[in-house]
Amino acid sequence: MDRGSVVYVDTGNSFSSRRIHHFLCENGGPPSKQDDTGIVQRVMSRILRHSVFDINLLFNVLHQLEFVLGSQEYREGCKVQLLIIDSVSSLITPVLGGGSSQGYSLMTSLGVLLKKLAHEHDIAILVTNHMVSGERGNPKPALGESWKSIPHVRLLLSCNYETNTCNISTLKHPSLQAAGRSASFVID
């Protein structure tokens, strides 16, 4: 089976090859140091990282990706199967508000472009959105109500750092049976 590649859009300069190495080794990783190095190198060679610090550069990266995905040369190479944008809210929040509709327009255009990439090129897209304090201190997504309709699936990740227990909840899913479900897990 040919394995695909990942495009990682890093908006906070937080991508860590050491963290990838840790995940690989902790989850049934290679038995020897030599195997370890080879596997990590193969995995890292399939991750294409872009540092992006504003919304316009994000659009440039996504349009470039769209062009590459449509090219004949790409179709014969390694297929992109996952696009990660970590974090979209840090790019959009600075242009939202102020009485201008430009921020909302950019956010909507981004949503349309991401859905187009997912649909036309059969790519899974994972977008992170920060949480902020809402009414009475309750957490809410940073991009608010306007972003709610854009993703097909919305997940909420939370972590209790005292117990090292994490929780994932399905907030929105095309299958109504999956919506509202949650699971807890531990990350060592």
116/100 Cα distance (integer angstroms): 26
Contact between residue 166 and residue 159 where contact means Cβ atoms under 8 Å apart:
yes
pLDDT tens by residue, 142-184: 888 888 888 989 999 999 989 889 999 998 888 878 888 999 9
What pLDDT was estimated at residue 1?
38
- Weakly modelled stretches of the chain, pLDDT under 70: 1-2, 27-36, 72-77, 99
pTM of the model: 0.86
> Which homologous superfamily is 5-140 in?
P-loop containing nucleotide triphosphate hydrolases (3.40.50.300)
- Sequence-distant (≥ 6) Cβ neighbours of residue 24 within 8 angstroms: 30, 36, 39, 40, 43
What pLDDT was estimated at residue 110?
96
Contact between residue 123 and residue 82 where contact means Cβ atoms under 8 Å apart:
yes
Residue whose token pair is 């959105």: 129
**What are the boundaries of each domain within the chain?**
5-140, 152-188
147/131 Cα distance (integer angstroms): 13
85/145 Cα distance (integer angstroms): 19
Handedness of CA 142, 144, 147, 148 (dihedral sign): positive
